[in-house]
Structure 1
Amino acid sequence: MSFRNYKDKIEEGDTVILYLSNNLYALDVQREIKNKKGEMIENVYQTPFGALKVKTLIGADYGTKIELTKGWGHVLQPTPELWSLTLPHRTQIIYTPDISMILLQLDLVPGCVVVEAGTGSGSLTHALIRRVRPHGHVYTFDFHEHRAKIAQEEFKDHGLADFVTAKHRDVLAEGFDKDLNGKADAVFLDLPSPWLGVPHALAAIKEEGGRFCSFSPCIEQVQRTCLALQEHGFQEITTMEVLQSEIKVSRRTVPVRDLSFLKQKSSISPVEEKPSSETSYVVGALPQSNPGHTGYLTVATLPPVYVRGKSKKDDDNISSENGEKMVVDENV
């Protein structure tokens, strides 16, 4: 239950993050576990720095330094960011740089209702839950039955079942639940063909309007999604790519030559070849290489119902005046 609320003490049943020399491990705090024979034995977790008897963590403070047989580490409170770095990779993971931008672009606040298609490993879902709690809700769907079932179990084990509904469903073929029509403040799609999900997103978003976001690795997917959004009355369509770049700050010593002799018209003394002093500077340098491409985020706004028809009519008039119409190549 350690994901539900921040607390000081570790309790049995919690999920904790074990920090060992820049490596992170997710660990379930249980006194005993079953071995391959089905027998209950003491839970001993093996690490690169030796064995850890898990029962010794019960009652300890989060952030505590723990002793191992060959070293030591720290036990940390789990967060969506740390969970993303340690969770089992059932699908491609969306990491913190993209997640933070998604939460910002969807305009989420506590109390919002979010619909997500493509649960995957649940990395983004954990962050969505934290943003809309305590009165909001996340509805997440995955077409893979086994992944959907594992995600349901994880949300329950983490104490988040009250804030999320995870279901097995092929959204592109069946759409979202009819009960969700007109109830969502925002919709997020992480699907192979997000443009096919745009009509279902339109049906799910509230009459007052809302936000849309999709994650796609290929620009061809982005093109077709943008055309579908435009066709269904979405506005403010924008595509962006999030690349994280860290500036390395260091101190460098630079040799300085004394050039005071240049103030004189002539100088009998020859110029010294060696620098006469040194000066230290704090400098920042960009990395030699940037992180690779992850995916494109396409975001859009769906205006209120009373504006949608008017906006679509205005767009048609503009297209008629210009004599041009945007088309998409079906072979892309």
Structure 2
Amino acid sequence: MKGVAMKVVVTGGAGFIGAHLCRELAMRPGVSEVVAFDDLSSGSAENLKDEALEDCGGAVRALGTSGGEVRLVRGSVLEREHLEEVLDGADAVVHLAACPSVTRSMDDPAFSHRVNATGTVRLLEVCRSRKELHLVAASSSSVYGSVSGLPEPEGLSARPLSPYSASKLAAEAYVLAYGAGFGLPTLALRFFNVYGPLQRADKPHAAVVPTFVAAALRRRPLCIKGDGLQTRDFTYVGTVARVLADAVVRRVTCPAPVNLAFGERVSLLELAHLVGEVVGVPVDIRHEPPRPGDIRNSQPVAGTLLRRLFPDVAPVSLRTGLEQTVAWLRKSLDRESTGLPV
């Protein structure tokens, strides 16, 4: 690393999590340049503008307030020449670029593998030629699959239920293998149902939180796939961004995957009713057939590796995170209804 003037590249940097991370990194002393590297297939340059996060309750950060530069570079993790160029002079890379949809992976398994697994190997190969380049990569709680017991420790055997989760497990394994085999400084974090402002409800295969919030704001039924008793551990995006930025600045590494979650188990029915409370409307719940490849229950072991590596991390409560999400999505829907850019 070159002193305190760090250049950090965020693959998928114009996406939901990536845009939050770019803001967080721009606030960090010692980070002089942040590059959002994205092919814009699902991310948007609009996510990196300050106005994208206006009026959502003060839990998000504006770009450029610490003097750190944020720059958007369009490119693909599948193209080595793009990676060689964007990583020139970089000190760290946070790998968030992915095809994140379970449903899409069931329709096109090869595409999920190509983006999530092959794209990760392409990135690792470029990193391997720059041995001091620190890599932090996003894995997924979906790698656990349907487990016989809860909560889920990092050492639990992985049993993917979809091509998406299999591709993320492959990517995670490659990250750890390059760390062990080539001495590359790496950290693989398993994300658990990240939600918050900038996560849109109008995307194909949208996540459950923005889907529920948008339906409640529009006074429409909240549709649940299955009986709604399936459980998740929801993690606010601001917490994820802070952990990722801290990992970059302190060059945190680990030879094993790390659960980025806090052990709070919430059913989809409970989530639906809480969304209704935060929005301030009664909810009409409709049940639909279960989604193929869906996981029944998900709850990580709280503390352990995450607390050891990030002792100062503090989770945001689900209610507080939903309040921020509702405020942002309400404004986004208002802009949409008036024909303004969203």
Which band: TM-score by shorter chain?
Answer: 0.3 to 0.5
- Specify which structure has the bigger relative contact order, considering alpha-carbon pairs within 8 angstroms and separated by 6 or more residues: 2
Q: TM-score, normalised by structure 1?
A: 0.35
Which structure is larger by alpha-carbon Rg, 1 or 2?
Answer: 1
User: Which structure dedicates a bigger proportion of its chain to strand?
Assistant: 1
